[in-house]
Structure 1
Amino acid sequence: MKIVMLGFGAVGQGVARVFSTKRDKIKAKYGLNLNLVAVTDTSGAAVCQEGLDPDLLLETKIKKGKVSEYPEHGVPSVSGVDVMDDVDYDCLIEVTPTNIDDGEPAKTHILKAFNQKKDVVTSNKGPLALCFRELADSAESNGVQFKFEASVGGAMPILNFAHETLAGCDINSVLGILNGTTNYILSRMAKEGTSYEKILQESQELGIAETNPTQDVEGIDAACKVVILANSIMGMDVSYDDVEVRGISGITPESIALAKKDGYLIKLVGEISEDSLEVSPRLVCKGSPFAVDGTLNVATLKTDLADDVTVVGKGAGSVETASAILSDLISIWKSK
């Protein structure tokens, strides 16, 4: 499988690490040769039709700061669209930064790949939250596959689980902790009785929270995932504007202490049902499946045949997210 990867930030580098460690095993087990023929970042691209070395890509990025410095095959100042026009490939991995204003440039990249009759795997929530139906319809009309397990919950297997393992069930609702950063902050606040501001600052220093944490702490990231789940699992046709969103920045140590006294924890929870599309802080019982700590994500799918089914997994991390991208690539390969 000849692969173009657009974006080489944390997730893209995670993909390169996973390719480096798993490529031989994947080839032996599935007959799938994961061949990166082009990788881009903001500096340009590294392009080699015979295949790029994932380890050398990582080394170049770390030492030089740009993939366009890749030895002998670096191409400065070239765009992702240019690379897609110039390179022979089978599948696009789209992992450029998430943009929830207009979904660009990922939306353009994904639609272009579909029109070129190429499969797409992405972790990018922006275009999925803003124009899911347009993307899904384009993939279907072009007869290609569109996979995005990594866009919700990092390594938590929810989309493919719902579509494959629970294929015979009607899923009536989904309730989930869908953001690892906010779960980490609330878990620390509950354990230590410390202020939101202090834990947020420490989370930023540890790299768990972004320098600008707004998308996480105000519930925007979780709301994007609610949209993806609603459209993909529940068959809805909704966008980000349809979600009622409230974040955690107003949560105080006093409110957490009061909840603990009554046997509850406060968690940022997303709900998807026919009656509700919402992200908000909620009380969850201690000892329940939702009483998870750290950056863990959890989701409960309410079904007609299997009752409630709960999945748990790490909701953040470059390699963890890359593991979901790898599973999508294998799924595409196995279906050929």
Structure 2
Amino acid sequence: MKIIILGFGAVGQGVARVISMKKDYLRSKYNLNPKIVAVCDRSGAAIHEDGLDEELLLETKTGKGKISLYPEYGIPGMDSLQVLDEIEYDCLVEVTPTDIDDGEPTRSHIIKAMEGGKDVVTSNKGPLALSFQELADCAKTNNVEFKFEASVGGAMPILNFAHENLAGCHIESIYGILNGTTNYILSRMANEGSSYEQTLKEAQEMGIAETDPYQDVEGVDAACKIVILANSVLNLPVTLKDVEVEGISRITSESIALAKKEGLLIKLIGEASPNALEVSPRLVSQGSPFAVEGTLNVATLKTDLADEVTVVGKGAGSVETASAIISDIISIWKRRR
């Protein structure tokens, strides 16, 4: 399978690293031989029809900061849409930074690939939260696979789990912690008694929170994931503007301490159902499945046959998120065969 990776930040590098690590395993178990034939970042691209060396890609990005400086096959200044025209490929892995204003350039990348008959895997929440139905319709029209497990919960298996393992069930609602940064902050505040401002600063210093943490702490990131779950799992044609959103920036150490005295924790919870699309701080029992700490994500799917089913997993991380992307690539390979 010939793969193009657009975006070579933490997730894109994770995909290259996992392919390097798992190449023999993928070949022996699935007869799958993934070749990265092109990679693009803001500096330009590296392209080679026989496949680029994954470790050299990682060394180039880490050491030189620009994928266009890849030896012999680097092309400074080449943009992502040019890359899609330049070389033959089977699957686009779109992992450029998320834009929640218009979903670009990811939306254009995905549509161009699908209109060219190529399968697409993405971790990018922006275009899914804004234009899910358009992208799903484009995939159907062009008879291509469109997979996005990594867009919700990183390594936490939820989309494919809902569609495959719970295929015989009617899923009524989904309820959970869908943002690792806010869960880390609230967990630390509960354990240490620290203030929101102090804990946020610590999370930023550790690289858990972004320099501009707005999308995480104000609930926007979790809201994007609620939209994806609502569309993909519950078949609700909604967008980001349909979600009621409240973040955690007004949570105080005093309110967390008061909740603890009652055996409760404050968590940022997202809910998707035909009657509710919401992200807000809520009280949960200290003994419940939602009492997870650190950057873990957790979600409960309420079904007609299996009652409530809960999944837990790491919501972030380079290799962790890449594991979901590789899972989607394997799924596409199986279906194509």
The AA in structure 2 aligned to 1:265 is L
Aligned to 2:51: 51
Give the equivalent residue in structure 1 for 2:10: 10
> Aligned with 1:251: secondary structure?
coil
Higher mean C-alpha displacement, 100-109 vs 20-29: 20-29
TM-score w.r.t. the length of structure 2 is: 0.99
| In 1: Cα distance, 2:121 partner to 2:215 partner | 23
- Misfit runs of 4+, over 3 Å: none
**Counterpart for residue 243 of structure 1:** 243
1:91 equivalent in structure 2: 91
Percent identity over paired residues: 71
1:182-331 alignment runs, 5 A limit: 182-331=182-331
What is the SS of the residue equivalent to 2:167?
coil
Cα distance between partner residues in 2 of 1:80 and 1:30 = 30
Residue 101 (str. 1) matches residue 63 (str. 2): no
- Report the residue type matching 2:217 in the other structure: V
The residue aligned with 1:71 is 71
TM superposition shift of 1:332: 0.3
| Residues in 1 aligned to 2:261 and 2:23: alpha-carbon distance in whole angstroms | 50
Aligned partner of 1:274: which letter? P
Determine the structure 2 residue equivalent to 1:172. 172
Q: Distance in 2 between matches of 1:24 and 1:78?
A: 32
- Separation in 2, partners of 1:258, 1:174: 28
Corresponding residue of 1:131: 131
Q: Distance in 1 between matches of 2:310 and 2:220?
A: 23
Alpha-carbon deviation of 1:23? 1.1
After superposition, the C-alpha distances for 1:153-211 in whole angstroms (9 at most, x for unaligned) are 00000000000000000000000100000000000000000001011001001000000
**1:140 partner SS:** helix
SS at match of 2:194: coil
Q: 1 CA distance for matches of 2:196 and 2:13?
A: 31
Write out per-residue CA displacement over residues 261-282 of structure 1, whole angstroms, 9 at most, x where no aligned residue.
0010000000001110000000
Distance across 1 between alignment mates of 2:62 and 2:130:
33
Match of 1:36, as an amino acid?
Answer: I
Give the distance between the partners of 1:266 and 1:53, measured in 2 at CA.
46
Residue 154 of structure 2 is matched in structure 1 by: 154
Structure 1: how far apart are the matches of 2:53 and 2:255? 51
The structural deviation recorded for 1:7 is 0.2
User: Match of 2:326, SS?
Assistant: helix
Q: CA–CA distance in 1 between the matches of 2:79 and 2:87?
A: 12
Deviation at 1:71, TM superposition (A): 0.3
Q: Deviations over 1:291-328 (max 9, x none)?
A: 00000000000000000000000001011000000000
Partner SS state of residue 71, structure 1: coil
Give aligned pairs, total.
Answer: 336
Task: Tell me the C-alpha RMSD between the 2 structures.
Answer: 0.4
Task: State the alpha-carbon separation in 1 of the partners of residues 35 and 73 from structure 2.
Answer: 15
Tell me how far apart the structure 1 counterparts of residues 47 and 86 of structure 2 sit (CA, whole Å): 10
TM-score by length of 1: 1.00
Secondary structure in 2 matching 1:269: strand
The structural deviation recorded for 1:62 is: 0.8
Kindly state the Cα deviation for residue 24 of structure 1 after the two structures are TM-superposed. 1.1
Q: Deviations over 1:123-152 (max 9, x none)?
A: 000000000000000000000000000000
SS in 2 for 1:291: coil
Aligned mates of 2:121, 2:228 — CA distance in 1: 14
SS at match of 2:271: strand
For 2:24 and 2:208, the matched residues in 1 are separated by 31
Gaps of 5+ in 1: none
CA distance in 1, matches of 2:94, 2:194: 38
